[in-house]
Structure 1
Amino acid sequence: MKKVMALIGFGMMMLSCGSSPRTSNELAVSNPIESSMDLTAVVNDKVPVTINPGRFTQDTVTYRLPRVVQGTYDISDFGAFVDDFKALDYDGKSLPVEKVDKNTWVITNATQLDKLTYWVNDSFDVESNPNYPNLFSPGGTNIEPNNYVLNLHGFIGYFDSLKNNQYTLDVVSPANFERTSALQKVAESASANGEKMTTSYFAPRYFDITDNPMMYGKLDVEEFMVGDIKIVLSVYSPNKKHTAESLKETMYKMMEAQKNYLGSINSTPRYDIYLYLSDGSAKAPKGFGALEHHTSTVVVLREWDSKESLAQSMVDVVSHEFFHIVTPLTVHSEDIHYFDYNTPTFSKHLWMYEGVTEYFAQHFQVYEGLVTPRDFFGTMDKKIDHASYFNDALSFTEMSENITEEPYAYNYVNVYQKGALIGMCMDILMREESDGTRSMLSLIKELSSKYGKDKPFEDDSIIDEISNMTYPSVAAFLQNHVVGSVPINYDEFFEKVGLYYEETKVATNYVQAANGLVMDRNKETEEMFFTDNVEDNSFWKEQGVQPGDKLVGINGFNISDMNIKFVVSQIFAWETGKEVDVTLDRNGETIEIKTTLTPAFTTSRTLVENPNATKKQIALRNAWLNQSENM
């Protein structure tokens, strides 16, 4: 209660005093760092930022913007977006400043320092510029007349000597803007002419600055309750193709199912979803996906997607980010809890933070009845296929600890493939050993109870701890396939739940078979020809097409006069019922095919339920998928 009252008192102080100038007697070590951004004063696509730390007693201080931010596992160098950095004394005169690297400024004569001022460029419109870091878009920033994506780690930095200080933040914006943020708002006031609005926020420490993004502008905002969690959905669609209202039902249904799946885990009373839809223009963001925070996520997706396609993307992306409230936001190691934004050390456990989270994001959909078991099997089977593109004999803990370095960085994407499969295998093992009473989710709940967002675990000890909490089979799995480099035989785990692979006929288009394209081109002659895959495409096989046949003409057009990519795109767009006229060259013989397109099929190795599964296998599968005996 004392903490609550202290914050209320601080808010009242902000309301009554605003951001009045500081005196030179206010020591930096004992006062909040005052920061401000003015979105109404943008010049050349840059926002002015002011940092007022109070009075320093040392002669030299160091100020930084993050080199790395949590959740990205990559070098960001946000200082590269800063221009015209100045340190001003109490008379408004410049103090000596040395920029020692991309993100670090050292200020001398710091006892005279009043404030820092600088300008910040955004990352969205320079993603293809080699002079700037290539940031993952959801972790980046946007500055444009109608929209501001304010990942605050791109604007506000920290002093090395004041890492634990509180922050205040004033954001000045046009009064007609929508303003959404999960950061604690303590005051709001309009300018005398009513054209501007100053919104004041409070952050207990720098982590809360980086952990609470904002979105300002001409947004579409919907708020709704999922149980006792308030969901705030903010959407920016440049061409107004999509709205928050059109996504609201999908998000509600998904998050209600997630909350049912999580049960007693409930770590936030509010969750913000910031969705920026890229229109595909030259300066629009290209990195589609999302970045998690404790109580929010920033999402960047395609504006040109259909309503149905966008809704499915939001389910896949946001469900993953929401599950991060469990791990690493609740269950995490000391590397994450005491994160160093300049020279971080990385935890060994991306298999849990990203892999298990991705597994939950897929598993809850079948467990809560949003998708069919067959759909879920197909999803996990695709992850097996995609994981095969990466080094399957690479220790996951070793990769995780060195994730910003090669060859580990290249394999990062595998945390969403093999990492999720690790979660699946452990889930099956947990359920098998406990006769269905324990699971991967129950294990994470046990870890959440033992640790939690304010109590990190020891990075080097958690594998042994999980082993002791579970079963010898789980311990062996972790040592062999997570710490060790032994590839996983997934068939063994599917057998436990009565699944197996069978060859089935599946629909395809007219350019693909199960193993790839049915056509290729000779790079020297530019001639197009049919590959061995043509024998696994029912349409072409029924027409008698053979591997090696050259494609000469389509519907009266000579292939040699057409761009190869255009030809493939045209055939890809063919639909059943269309009349086609195809000319081939087979060893000098001209062959003409005039026909009406019939559906094309290919054979696929599909994961399905084994009709000969035992009662024990079926019971384990039903527990795993939350299915009844009669289904």
Structure 2
Amino acid sequence: MKRAILIFFLAIYAATHAQITYHYETNLKDLSQDKLAVHLKISGFSEDTLTFCFPKIIPGIYGAMNFGQYISTLEVFDKKGKKLKTAQTDMNSWMIYDAKNIARVSYLADDAWETFDTILKEGFFRSAASSFSDSAFVITPNSLFGYFRGHLHHPIEISIRKGMELYPATSLKKTLKLNQDVFFAKDYHQLVDNPILYALPDTTMIKLPGISVEVACYSTSGKSISKDIAEYIRPLLINQSKYLNDKLPVDHYTFLIYHSLAPNRHHLIGDGLEHSNSTLILLYMPLDIETIRQNIYGIASHEFFHTLMPLGLHSQEIENYDYNEPKFSKHLWLYEGMTEYFTMHMPVKTGLQTEKEFFKMVEEKIAFMNQFDPNLALTDLSLHPMEMQDQYYNVYLKGALVNLCLDIRLRELSGGEYGTKDLVLDLMAHYRGKPFEDGKFFSDLVIVSGYPELEAFIRDYIQGTETLPLKELLLKAGVKLDKGKISEVENPTAEQQKLRAVWLH
């Protein structure tokens, strides 16, 4: 009898929770003053009060964007059309009373930027925000669709009406019709992880063993550019696969590229934000395919490597991301630093680049790093990125260089057999897709690597502020660093030659 009662109550609980689904609707044809009307149909809540939120911040950026600032005239109704009482509690949150009777939420969503150009603002990342125009819609779901606090894990369905000439590029599961598209996400995390680019069709598919890649582009010039860009991205993906031992971490991927026409080559800007199965890239430059391809290469490479970390290898703080009260991981040195190092290292390792070209990049990063605070540990910067925006870019400089040092150190310890790439792949295998505990990661790293000597390296150069041992470690690889310049050692030893060969070739 008790078992029957338990099954009954479990069935009631499952039925109550299963019925909660977010059903969003908007119409791109009704764009007015850069605003879209958004309607959410949802019911089945048991709480008396609920908070409807837009993110303050999202994964991959480290400045408070406050996406609620683009929302206006938010109203909530019951199933009879009666307006429910609401109160805005902060820039991103609305308290809703009598929440058990919620049936519909309606509001206007403004875009965050009009054109992608040289006007930059600290802490504002346009690749995380939306832009609407009659010819193209860059939709970052976090700036258009909200969520109820405590209800992030319900399925989401989005219906978008549009002109039949517009095509939606995204990695979301979708059903396409002439005038209406429907998108599906298993929860809010997956939705935020998948931007959408609506524009006239300009797409090229890349088919490689184990992966299908869509390159979708929009250029304010009105010209088609996806085919030329895809021809440049294709060898990049082939070499990244080679670099990762022919084990790409995803089987489908979408590059969403928005190109804003610049009048000349004096100001070239690129911005990208990584997602699990896509990257949104914004470009401001002339319609010169070679210039576009050269700039896309570095951005696309860096963002695609993010499929390893933090998208594949990350802490619980990222797995259980809090969009409005985020807790940061101390491992930006890994998420951004290692990713940037792989972006630098892959071309020379796979023969796309010469040693001279590689060392030129190293010199540039050393010079740039020296403009930042040397007494700020990478772990401290990682834990407080929003308060240290003026220091944040150093994760791409010192973060990359500390991993260069780690790579050489591992090669030295292993007789050339083991490096940072092997370490990352081993860590991913160790955690098997599960998030790690932030405070235990360093000890796990040492154990997985098999080299207890790394404890001192981590203590001094990642957790600490000791000067990076670039000079000493580069010398072990047969090159010398003097006054910021790198050159070959005359008459290198066989040991130096061997270490350099396994590191760079």
TM-score, with length taken from structure 2: 0.92
Query: How far apart, in 1, do the equivalents of 2:287 and 2:475 lie?
Result: 38
1:134 to 1:434, Cα distance in 2 relative to 1, 3 A: closer
Match of 1:520 in 2: none
Deviation at 1:41, TM superposition (A): 1.4
Match of 1:95 in 2: 84
Match of 1:114 in 2: 103
Q: 2:490 aligns with which of 601, 607, 611?
A: 611
Alignment pair present for 1:355 and 2:337 = yes
> What secondary structure sits across from 2:26 in the alignment?
strand
Deviation at 1:280, TM superposition (A): 4.8
Deviation at 1:248, TM superposition (A): 1.5
> What secondary structure sits across from 2:214 in the alignment?
strand
Alignment pair present for 1:331 and 2:313 = yes
Match of 1:341 in 2: 323
Query: How far apart, in 2, do the equivalents of 1:287 and 1:54 lie?
Result: 44
Residues 366-405 of structure 1: matches in 2 within 5 Å?
Answer: 366-405=348-387
CA contact (8 A) 1:231 1:271 kept: yes
CA contact (8 A) 1:294 1:325 kept: yes
Match of 2:212 in 1: 230
Residues 193-592 of structure 1: matches in 2 within 5 Å?
Answer: 197-240=179-222, 243-280=225-262, 288-304=270-286, 306-405=288-387, 408-453=388-433, 455-470=434-449, 471-501=451-481
Query: How far apart, in 2, do the equivalents of 1:276 and 1:108 lie?
Result: 41
> What secondary structure sits across from 1:163 in the alignment?
coil
> What secondary structure sits across from 1:165 in the alignment?
coil
RMSD across aligned C-alpha pairs, in angstroms? 2.1
Question: Deviations 1:82-107 (Å, cap 9, x if unpaired)?
Answer: 11111012122321110111110111
Query: How far apart, in 1, do the equivalents of 2:208 and 2:298 lie?
Result: 18
Amino acid aligned to 1:616:
E
Higher relative contact order (CA 8 A, sep 6+): 2
Match of 2:10 in 1: none
Query: How far apart, in 2, do the equivalents of 1:327 and 1:417 lie?
Result: 17
Amino acid aligned to 1:73:
Y
Question: Deviations 1:186-224 (Å, cap 9, x if unpaired)?
Answer: x3334xxxxxx2111211111011001110012411111
Query: How far apart, in 2, do the equivalents of 1:440 and 1:106 lie?
Result: 47
CA contact (8 A) 1:290 1:317 kept: yes
Residues 32-51 of structure 1: matches in 2 within 5 Å?
Answer: 32-51=21-40
Deviation at 1:61, TM superposition (A): 1.2
Q: 1:175 aligns with which of 146, 164, 167?
A: 164
Query: How far apart, in 1, do the equivalents of 2:127 and 2:268 lie?
Result: 10
CA contact (8 A) 1:241 1:303 kept: no
> What secondary structure sits across from 1:289 in the alignment?
strand
> What secondary structure sits across from 1:222 in the alignment?
strand
Q: Sequence identity of aligned pairs in percent?
A: 29
Q: 2:58 aligns with which of 56, 66, 69?
A: 69
> What secondary structure sits across from 2:114 in the alignment?
helix
Does 389-398 or 616-625 show the bigger shift? Answer: 389-398
Query: How far apart, in 1, do the equivalents of 2:30 and 2:300 lie?
Result: 33
Match of 1:564 in 2: none
> What secondary structure sits across from 2:177 in the alignment?
strand
> What secondary structure sits across from 1:607 in the alignment?
strand
Question: Deviations 1:298-337 (Å, cap 9, x if unpaired)?
Answer: 0111231632222111111110000001111111000000
TM-score, with length taken from structure 1: 0.74
Higher-Rg member (1/2): 1
Query: How far apart, in 2, do the equivalents of 1:625 and 1:289 lie?
Result: 28
Question: Deviations 1:536-575 (Å, cap 9, x if unpaired)?
Answer: xxxxxxxxxxxxxxxxxxxxxxxxxxxxxxxxxxxxxxxx
1:90 to 1:297, Cα distance in 2 relative to 1, 3 A: same
CA contact (8 A) 1:127 1:133 kept: no
Deviation at 1:64, TM superposition (A): 0.3
Amino acid aligned to 1:410:
D
1:463 to 1:440, Cα distance in 2 relative to 1, 3 A: same
1:227 to 1:96, Cα distance in 2 relative to 1, 3 A: same
CA contact (8 A) 1:122 1:141 kept: yes
**Ranges in structure 2 where 5+ consecutive residues have no aligned partner:** 1-14
Q: 2:147 aligns with which of 158, 161, 182?
A: 158
Amino acid aligned to 1:464:
S
> What secondary structure sits across from 1:74 in the alignment?
coil
Q: How many aligned positions are there?
A: 485
CA contact (8 A) 2:43 2:101 kept: no
Question: Deviations 1:46-75 (Å, cap 9, x if unpaired)?
Answer: 111111122322221111010010000110
Deviation at 1:242, TM superposition (A): 5.9
Does 242-251 or 455-464 show the bigger shift? Answer: 242-251
